[in-house]
Amino acid sequence: MKFVPDYHDISEAHSRIKPHAHKTPVFTSTTVNQLFNAEVYFKCENFQRMGAFKFRGAMNTLSQFSDEQKKAGVVAFSSGNHAQAIALAAKLLNIPATIVMPHDAPKAKIEGTKGYGGKIVFYDRYTEDNKAISRDLAEKHGLTLIPPYDHPHIIAGQGTVAKELFEEVGELDSLFVPLGGGGLLSGSALSAAHLSPKCQVFGVEPANGNDGQLSFRKGEIVTIDMPKTIADGAQTPHLGEYTFAIIRHLVKDILTATDEELVDTMYFLAERMKMVVEPTGCLGFAAARAMRVQLQGQRIGVILSGGNIDMSRYASLLGNKK
């Protein structure tokens, strides 16, 4: 089957972003391997530039802008990692960036985006539509609007995470991937299909926002209300057209994790592996832990997708863990 993008695009994206993106480490833990009675490989995108894999998709996309697009600039709407990724990639490529953000976005994210030189346009998340504002800005000033996941160049960039993992550790039996709009999952599934065709790829989303699971079962994109969950990077009401077309054919299943399981997993990763992983970044490992009995004897990949969380929030989530 032919997908857009395909593995060739991921391979080209990798050459394009290599000079700028970190090849993140793959960690193992004897404790985890004993607990699972399996071999578990963690691909640590919490150590990627700006703290999440989204830098890969942003860099791959912006570096393919025409000279005209580069001169006019890019616009993105997001309160999270996509905004920071676009701002940093734009800065490295000397492209002016405008980010549309709610004025009550976490201070760290506003400061992060400003620090990378992004121009912020604030809006009210309860009364205004960020997409409409971004489209207006794009039209008025000739900016190129880059969505957070449903774009072939974004997907190709995100696919380099799993590509690096398979190239480093070889073929795997299962791979667990956090799921929001599906850029990371669709890219991972394309890389798995090419580099480890027998690998079962699982997407994992918040239990309160299981639109991906519903879509997967139904065979068409299902839209839900904006989910309430601590996994803010996966607060998406629906998958994308490009991402779903790939996910429905190449993914084994879509699983969920509760907020409580995410806090528990965040705690485990801090205590046992000394890593700060944001709640969304814990989704894959949370699901793997829940089904570890079925995974005995396997070679398992887990993508830890990001580590951006306010320290006060991190402390209170871990401090209040039951």
Ligand X SMILES: *Cc1c(COP(=O)(O)O)cnc(C)c1O
Residue 38 or 81 with smaller CB distance to ligand X: 81
Q: Of 7-15, 125-133, 175-183, 290-298, which segment contacts ligand X by CB under 6 A?
A: 175-183
Site membership for ligand X, residue 178 (CB under 6 A): yes
CB of 81 to ligand X, least distance (A): 4
List for the chain the helix, strand, coil content (%; round to 5): 50, 15, 35
Cis peptide before 5 (omega within 30 of 0): yes
79 catalytic, yes or no? yes
DSSP state of 269: H
Return the exposure string of 214-232: e unless at least 16 CB atoms fall within 10 Å of the residue's CB, then b.
bbbeeeebbeeeebebbbb
Distance between terminal CA atoms of the chain?
47
Among 52, 97, 175, 246, binds ligand X (CB under 6 A): 52
> Can you read off the two tokens belonging to residue 29?
């833990």
Among 106, 268, 278, 301, binds ligand X (CB under 6 A): 278
Of 112, 76, 42, 60, whose CA–CA distance to 300 is shortest? 42
Site membership for ligand X, residue 54 (CB under 6 A): yes
Cβ-based neighbours of 282, under 8 Å, separated by 6 or more = 178, 231, 257, 262, 265, 266, 269, 304
CB of 72 to ligand X, least distance (A): 26
Q: Of 9-17, 100-108, 117-125, 177-185, which segment contacts ligand X by CB under 6 A?
A: 177-185
From the candidates 63, 78, 79, 191, give the one annotated as an active-site residue.
79
Q: Between residue 200 and residue 239, which ones bind ligand X under the rule CB under 6 A?
A: 233-234
User: What CA–CA distances, in Å, run from 262 to 169, 245, 257, 288?
Assistant: 26, 28, 7, 12
157/59 Cα distance (integer angstroms): 8
Site membership for ligand X, residue 184 (CB under 6 A): yes
286/280 Cα distance (integer angstroms): 10
Among 105, 246, 305, 309, binds ligand X (CB under 6 A): 305
54 catalytic, yes or no? yes
Residue 85 or 97 with smaller CB distance to ligand X: 85
Residue 97 or 283 with smaller CB distance to ligand X: 283
Q: Of 66-74, 183-191, 192-200, 251-259, which segment contacts ligand X by CB under 6 A?
A: 183-191
**Residues annotated as catalytic (active site), given as ranges:** 54, 79
Interface residues toward ligand X, by CB under 6 A: 52, 54, 80-81, 148-149, 158, 178-185, 233-234, 278, 280-281, 305-306
